[in-house]
Structure 1
Amino acid sequence: MQGEAYHIAVDPLREWVDIKLIGLWDHDTIRRFEADLRRDLTRLPAIGRQRTLFDLSDFIVQVPEVAAGFARLAADPGIASRRIAVIGPAPLLRMQARRVAPGYGFFGDRAEAVQWLNAADADDAPR
């Protein structure tokens, strides 16, 4: 767990990443978040196989500089996840998140997001 602006929990055995974002961020916060995320992801057996849950329940619409930082992270294959779900009940925040990361799944509650992430196993099976 890091800072008061975010919490990152990595479960290497389940290849699961659970991230909670909180409040209004600035440039330093996104920089610290990126450094902590990259460090924590090294605990995974391999990058790219994990499922990631972003909880934005206590997050707010961010300034353009911070949104651009998230867009850069979302496009970075060095920290990519197999599947990413976002919990964000606020309509404006969900709109901002969709612009930043259009390929993510968006949900109003945690149970629905977790179910979708766990169902990914069937979708990701080799064909």
Structure 2
Amino acid sequence: MACDVSIELERGRIRADMSGFLSLSDVAAFARDEQEGAREIIRHKGYFDLLVQTPGAKAQGQDVMGAFQQLVVRSPLKARRIAIVAASPLLRMQIRRVLPNDHIKAFETVVEADAWLDDMSLAPQPA
């Protein structure tokens, strides 16, 4: 598995490119990189969004999907919105089943995901 995490400071966005079949250690490495990027973006923007691209990725094991589910719930710094781009219909279905949440959406294309994240009218408002 490969996972590259980068930040787009001006957009308040973390981009993660993932491919292949993930392991629990891959999820842990992603979590570390994502939280490090989140700290930097939050210092400048006060929030962050997450865009995960999964070109060529297949449906993942239950242990990996469970680890991602726990990551969403337990991360100290939480993304305002999470857009996951998955070309595989099976992977999109798995994402929707395991991560059913209004601030997490699965998309077929990066264009759709970016448009959703860029639409500030859909962003959760601070309490």
Q: Matches of 1:79 and 1:101 in 2, distance apart?
A: 17
1:67 to 65, 72, 75: 65
Q: How does 1:1-127 map to 2 (within 5 A)?
A: 5-46=2-43, 49-76=47-74, 78-103=76-101, 104-119=104-119, 121-124=120-123
CA RMSD of aligned residues (A): 2.3
Q: Which runs of 5+ in 2 are unaligned?
A: none
TM-score scaled by structure 1?
0.82
- Report the AA paired with residue 47 of structure 2: R
Contact 1:73 1:79 in 2 (8 A): no
Give CA deviations for 1:9-68 in whole Å, capped at 9, x if unaligned: 112232111111111111221222212222222211259721221112232211111111
Cα deviation, 1:55-86, whole Å, max 9, x if unaligned, reads 12232211111111111012235231112211
Can you list the C-alpha shifts for 1:66-113, whole angstroms capped at 9, x where unaligned?
111111012235231112211112111111111222121221111111
Q: Distance in 2 between matches of 1:125 and 1:69?
A: 24
Asked whether the equivalents of residues 74 and 100 of structure 1 are also in contact (C-alpha less than 8 Å), the reply is no
Give the TM-score normalised by the residue count of structure 2: 0.82
Aligned residues: 123
Give the helix-richer structure, 1 or 2: 2
